[in-house]
Chain A
Amino acid sequence: MSKEIINQNTDIQQISEEQDYTLRSTDAVCINESHLHHKWYYNFKYMAVGVLFGIVFVKAEIISWFRIQEMFRFQSFHMYGVIGSAIMVGMISVWLIKKFNIKTIHGETIEFHDKVFNKGQIYGGLLFGLGWAITGACPGPLFAQIGTGATVIVITLLSALAGTWIYGYYRDKLPH
């Protein structure tokens, strides 16, 4: 009897985890696919990756407003080289992970999910493109720019948070 209740409970738990996953992966590429539960301080490994990433952002001037302007005016190959070679390396890495079924350091199978197309990728993409060329920054560089001491970019970041919140508020009314 008690075993049955426990089973029922885990069923409920699993359904809600699935629902939670569906919600979390709505309008997102970047998702935690792991089913493992770790202590919070395990997250410092992602911070370490972020630090390296931030250093590259600054040192290669990817967070420079001027470099973004040059990119959109075809005045420099730099940003195309950065994004293009990043995609090449990423593509080869994903292919290798799938081909050799490479596991995480915790032994978990690495999961990939296909994205479903919706019109938001067009409308939202265009709107983000407009913002990218104004601010000279996509979301990642905003964090790095603040790190380099451009404190006023905190306002741009807060405004981006407001934009995300407004999107969430009006999501059901927008064409998808």
Chain B
Amino acid sequence: MGIIEFIKQPWPWYVAGPVIGLTVPALLILGNKTFGISSSLRHVCAMCLPANIPFFKYDWKKEIWNLFFVAGIAIGGIVAISLLKNPSPILIHPNLAIELASYGINDFHGLVPNQLFNWGELMSVKGFILMVVGGFLVGFGTRYAGGCTSGHAIMGISNLQWPSLVATCCFMAGGFLMANVILPFILSL
């Protein structure tokens, strides 16, 4: 197996996790930036539509580095999918496959399930909840919590901040509740 074929396989957690962890010191050492991603959404608000809201009246130019960072993430997505795409279908847990099949979801190609997330579905109740309501909760919730998985779970806990640990536990609690209790209703719509 050549090196490119080797890289094209899905990367195990013990490679991905440490590399993500190294983002923390990389951003600190490159320029005193604390790692986080959801703040980028706030900077876009501050830049495009501050509307005299005090929460958005700060010097967003100081945080423009964060927008370069997230633009890089999107470019990374393009690079990974065009040059390093895994040719095999994604393997998922058999119980999840059975559960999803009961909602008529049987296409497990791609990272985002095409049967749920597509432009046509956007107008259906299910698609609206999955894409629009879901996105709203992500944007509202992360800012209310003061950070997301990167800011709280990785940066905050790395810096031994107990409020970040509390936030992370709440992220997980909300996720368990949604995935196991509420999402089955949404998917059966």
Question: Which residues of A line the B interface, CB within 8 A?
Answer: 20, 23-24, 26-34, 36, 38, 40, 42-66, 68-73, 75-91, 93-94, 96-97, 102, 104-106, 108, 110-112, 114-118, 120-140, 142-153, 155-169, 171, 174
Contact = CB atoms under 8 A, between A and B. Distances in A.
Contacts of A55: 76-77, 79-80, 84
Nearest to B113: A65
Contact of A117 (B33, B113, B150, B166): B166
A124 B140 CA distance: 7
B145 to A, nearest CB: 3
Interface of B: 7, 10-42, 44-45, 49, 51, 53-59, 62-66, 68-81, 84, 86, 90, 92-93, 95-96, 100, 108, 110-113, 116-119, 122, 129-164, 166-180, 182-183, 186
A162 B74 CA distance: 20
Chain B CB count within 10 A is highest, among A139, A142, A163, for A139
Nearest to B49: A165
B72 A53 contact: yes
A32 B158 contact: no
A63 B77 CA distance: 10
Contact of B141 (A89, A106, A129, A144): A129
A32 B19 CA distance: 21
Nearest to B111: A64
Given A50-B69, A59-B80, A110 B32 contact: yes
Contact of A156 (B15, B134, B160): B134
Chain A CB count within 10 A is highest, among B17, B122, B162, for B17
A32 B33 contact: yes
Contacts of B166: 117, 121-122, 125
Contact of A49 (B62, B69, B110, B160): B69
Nearest to A122: B170
Given A46-B27, A129-B177, A134 B129 contact: yes
